[in-house]
Amino acid sequence: MSDTEKILRPIKHTSKEFYPFVASLAFISLIAVYAYSRQLSLGLGVTGLNDVTIWGIYIANFIFFIGISHAGIAISAAVRILKAHRYQPIARIAELLTIVSLVMAGLSIVIDLGRPDRAFLLIVKFVERFRYSPLIWDITAVATYLILSSTYLYLPMRRDIKLAMEHTSGWRSQMLGYLIPFYEEGEEATIDRLSFWLAVTILPVMVMVHTTVAWIFSLLSSRPLWFNAFAGPYYIVAAVASGIASVMVLAAVMRKLYHWEDIIRPDLFRGLSNFTAVTVLVYLYMMMAEQLAALFAGPAGEMFVSEEWLFGSFAALFWLMTTLGLVIPFLYMLIQAFKKDYVNITWTAVMSLILVVAFWFKRYMIIVPTLSIGVQEVGIYSPTWVEIVILLGSFALPLLLYSVLTKVVPLIEMEEAHHE
Amino acid sequence: MSKMSRREFLKKIGVIGVFVAFNNVASNMRRVATPLIKKGIGTVYPRAVKGASFGMMIDVGACIGCRRCQHACNLENNTPDEPSNMHWIDVFEMESRRPVSEVENIPPVGASLDYTDAPSPDHWYMSFNCFHCDNPPCTKVCPTGATYKDEDGLVLVNYDICIGCRYCMAACPYNARRFNWWEPQHPSSRTNPIDGSAVALNEDVPLRPRGVTEKCTFCVHRVRNGGVPKCVEVCPVRARHFGDFNDPDSEVSKLLKTVRTMRIRENLGTYPKLYYFTRGVKWTEDGEKH
């Protein structure tokens, strides 16, 4: 089987296991939709949120998915700008992840709104409020990022869809044809130029997206551990680490499922895992710096939150997240980096998955303790079933979208195949 | 696909697009937005008093923690009953041995919101409501401009354009804001907890819908018509004082000159317009005033 055949396999053939998998994802998403309809009809009171802990799982989800969305463009822009062609095979896997997670991040914000029916006011009042509200900056950045990255995903994909059209027949070919209106022979050169400059444009936007997410929190001077000048870089490091870790998980799974062992080579995982190890190390260092400032200097608010994190009611979560979730995967990746030409893809994927989960809990830790600390019983937040179900759904829905997309678009740029 | 020329295709797409845009999106948006734009600010409050700067001063030494202000406020401002159980005024019971610096945290460290037979020995009381800051952090972050500082210094909420993102609540250093987590319940008549008489809803104060924020308005409907907030009116020990800080003859302006005051978390640069003071009177263990 040629590489092209292999790459197009998911589009042409669908295994029996695919349907129950997609059906269960759809089922979970539907339950989440039901939970959200409860929230819509009864009010946000069905969540565990209260006047003190005003944000919870939904906002943690928002930061998390914005974070995941970073890896896609980071990888493929590196491919295009730094000419790191080694990573070409996973570029599109990562880009698709960017799109679905950005969509989920946007949804998380809407789910969190008390009046989603009035969300259009964000556009009506845009010009008036742009000078003031960091939330508006963030919505602008996310929207820009979504538009740019979906363009960036789509343009170079046209030639692959064309190629897929040629390799398929009947309705499949016809459906693929609808995806590329106005296709012209020889448009590739133009698209290559366009994509390069798009990549150059997207990189600063990518930095801005997560910086503005950080600013939503870090510009509130009264909130301990949010109010932080290095929040931007701090959030970006977490975003890149969790994003690349989730790309590794996806790439490992698809490599196995679609028998892409020759296309997605082990040295690629090695490179990604080394990079992730570095970012996790930087993140641990930043966390330590943050905690030291809070504990040693000890402004009342910061000290309360920090003590709650390290020794208080969030201690179990914090230490589990730090040791099991960050340090152990880091150590594994570090040891792997020192072994010459060695990489265990299964273990790398498992460690990456642990990292992703740990980073979700880190986002939860960012939101909840700062809001609920130093407060009596009234302020204590424990998520309700509605939130848990919506949380599950917010993982099922992007996965579902992703699974469907694997059946529609070629997941790997077929450049090499093209030149054969 | 190939039967249609590109020009034709574009034309068709364009016609459909224009049709959809004009008949659905635009008209819908206009239908919802026009009443808002016409009314200007949505929720209608009395016109702001020109040149005023309304504020409050609370005598913590005099406060006996009876919570009459809280109950009167609930009735005056139609705050929802169960399950929201909302009140705009929080009265914290403080242990007398705790230093005032611990009030810097909201709610204060070790303070209790539980109702006790006040005044209870060895305790003092600290009442919180919206401080109507001169430099309010909450209005800055609002993405729709639903919360704003008016010309007379009152920080108000336009309930009609609040989208319920709760960003203002995150920005408020004083936990002054409340959110309508549930559909607000307003029984047509309620019982006055003090004398057991029936009380109707106050028609001067708009009811809030579910999913928006609200907070103390300094009884905007009263103060802009020359009155004082309900909590000030009902306080049995005259612990609460209200007035216009820009008017040198007002009660609060005179008080500000004669008593020593403090504001909460002044380091944040919010310039609250609610001052705490005491004339050195304190409730002690034997329940006597000294």
Q: What is the pLDDT of residues B209-245, one digit of tens each?
A: 999 999 999 999 999 999 999 999 999 999 999 999 9
- B181 within some domain: yes
Phi, psi torsion values for B23, nearest 5 degrees: -85, -30
CA distance B138 to B155: 9
B74 and B198 both lie in a single domain:
yes
Read off the pLDDT of each residue in B8-15 and give the average, rounded to a whole number. 68
Distance to chain A for B66, nearest Cα, Å: 21
Average pLDDT, chain B: 83
B87 and B221 both lie in a single domain:
yes
Which residues in chain A have their CB less than 8 angstroms from residue B180's CB? 43, 114
- B283 within some domain: no
B1 and B64 both lie in a single domain:
no
Of all residues in chain A, the one with the smallest CA distance to B140 is A132
- B186 within some domain: yes
Domain that holds residue B5: 1-40
B12 and B104 both lie in a single domain:
no
B218 and B98 both lie in a single domain:
yes
B125 and B21 both lie in a single domain:
no
- Please tell me the predicted confidence (pLDDT) of residue A1: 61
Assess whether pLDDT exceeds 90 at residue B282.
no
- Please tell me the predicted confidence (pLDDT) of residue B280: 61
CA distance A258 to A246: 18
Pick the more confident residue, A185 or B30: A185
CA distance B86 to B178: 7
- B171 within some domain: yes
Of all residues in chain A, the one with the smallest CA distance to B142 is A133
Average pLDDT, chain A: 89
Inform me whether the C-beta atom of residue B144 falls under 8 Å from chain A C-beta atoms.
yes
- Please tell me the predicted confidence (pLDDT) of residue B38: 46
Judge whether A145 and A205 are in contact, CB under 8 Å: yes
pLDDT digits (tens, 9 = 90+) for B63-108: 999 999 999 999 899 998 888 888 899 998 888 777 777 777 777 7
B14 and B67 both lie in a single domain:
no
- Please tell me the predicted confidence (pLDDT) of residue A419: 44
Instruction: Look up the CATH number of the domain holding residue B189.
Output: 3.30.70.20
> Which residue among B173, B209, B213 sits closest to A222, beta carbon to beta carbon?
B173
Written as six digits, the tokens of A126 are: 């845009």
Pick the more confident residue, B125 or B39: B125
Q: Which helix (H) or strand (E) holds B200?
A: strand B198-200
- B49 within some domain: no
Domain total for chain B? 2
pLDDT digits (tens, 9 = 90+) for A263-314: 888 989 999 999 999 999 999 999 999 999 999 987 878 888 898 899 988 9
A113/B211 touch (CB, cutoff 8 Å), yes or no: yes
A133/B140 touch (CB, cutoff 8 Å), yes or no: yes
Inform me whether the C-beta atom of residue B177 falls under 8 Å from chain A C-beta atoms.
yes
- B46 within some domain: no
B35 and B114 both lie in a single domain:
no
Angle B216-B219-B221 (CA atoms, 0-180°, nearest 5)?
A: 135
- Would you place residue A40 in the very low, low, confident or very high pLDDT band (cuts 50, 70, 90)? very high
pLDDT digits (tens, 9 = 90+) for B126-136: 899 999 999 99
Name which of A8-17, A108-117, A277-286, B182-191 the model is least confident about.
B182-191
Please state the length of chain B.
290
B146 and B118 both lie in a single domain:
yes
Assess whether pLDDT exceeds 50 at residue A166.
yes
A378/B164 touch (CB, cutoff 8 Å), yes or no: no
B33/A124 touch (CB, cutoff 8 Å), yes or no: yes
Name which of A248-252, A345-349, B109-113 the model is least confident about.
B109-113
pTM score: 0.89
Assess whether pLDDT exceeds 90 at residue A380.
no
- B264 within some domain: yes
A301/B105 touch (CB, cutoff 8 Å), yes or no: yes
B33 and B143 both lie in a single domain:
no
B21 and B88 both lie in a single domain:
no
CATH dotted code for A3-406: 1.20.1630.10
Matching residue, tokens 């004083």: B174
pLDDT digits (tens, 9 = 90+) for A124-164: 999 989 999 999 999 999 999 999 999 999 998 888 888 88
B263 and B140 both lie in a single domain:
yes
